[in-house]
Amino acid sequence: MPIVNEIFFSPSTFLVFAVLADLMIGDPQWLYHPVQGIGFLIETFEPRFRRRIRNKKWAGIVFALFIIFLCTVSALSLLLLAYRIHFFVGLAVHVLGIASALSVKSLAREGWVVRRLLQKQDIEGARKRVSLIVSRDLSHEDKQGILRALIETMTENLSDGVIAPLFFAIFGGMPGIWFYKTVNTLDSMIGYKNQRYKDFGWFAAKLDDVVNYIPARMTGILIVMTSVLFFKKTKQALWAWYRDAQKGPSPNGGIPIVVFAGAQDISLGGNCFDQSGNLIEIPHVGGQRKELHISDLHWTLIFHYTCIFLFLLFIIVLM
């Protein structure tokens, strides 16, 4: 029995079952997602912390720590309650709690859907679909702009939506993964450098940079390894990482993008507009080829699945 317990209840087993559950179930639109609950808490408590603490930086620090503590303890309490009800109820909640924080299926689904729309020359349909998952204005983008936005989003979120959550689940299980998702959600909601959030959201943005530091570089390594497996331009991927990874505003988000672009020998980046019509200046990064093809999106999907498989394989071997 000790061997059986070691196999079936090790951290790596939880992660494998969670990824499989996410691939099968994904994020049903009819089901209330925990991230929506985190968003509700952020919107509810932000005004109260702003009113009670005059110094906006300190208000943002205390607010972020409060939300993180509340969400992490809630996840831990739910897990302990589930195990108290029954051991196998606890196992199910543990696996599903990890799976619900992953974006394995949801990211891939968008890639497959947009790929099919573009193959049918449905530019407007593809534009609307990608607009749902990116923060930029795509209303005037052509096929090239659509492909660029989706490829950049999918590669960046391979780290934020899959590898980083799994990394924290290794050490903290379900509470660990929801600690990460809370930090990530805080950054996405208040981690802006505009007038409203440059002080209040400063801590949330910096903390997100810290927690993503290792996972982003792990994702870069996984992309490089995938490029070796499929005989892509590995040297160019490494050179793009060295040359371009820190050209963007984030110390982490650019790594998966530039490494994949180098491996595929495509040029990503370039100026775009946000939802308010403001110009966002982004340098060109990656490879040499300017024109993007639907096949590049297909390779994005292949890299997506392969990187996740390699990550799980390493966890199984190491743990």
From residue 179, alpha-carbon distances to 122, 257, 276 in Å are: 40, 25, 31
Backbone angles phi, psi at 136, to 5 degrees: -95, 165
Q: Which residue has the higher pLDDT, 213 or 194?
A: 213
pLDDT in tens, 10-22: 778 889 999 999 9
Q: Are 128 and 146 in contact (CB under 8 A)?
A: no
Give the pLDDT band (50/70/90) at residue 30. Answer: low
- Asked whether the predicted pLDDT for residue 79 surpasses 90, the reply is yes
Q: From residue 278, give the alpha-carbon distance in Å to each of 130, 136, 180, 191, 274.
A: 19, 9, 30, 18, 5
Decide if pLDDT at 28 tops 80: no
* Strand 272-273 versus strand 279-280 pairing type: antiparallel
Q: 8 exposed, middle or buried (CB, 10 Å; 0-12, 13-18, 19+)?
A: exposed
Count of CA atoms in the C-beta half-sphere (13 A) of 88: 0
Residue 243 has pLDDT above 70, yes or no: yes
- Global pTM? 0.93
Q: What is the arithmetic mean of pLDDT over 35-46?
A: 95
Instruction: Answer whether residue 8 shows pLDDT above 80.
Output: no
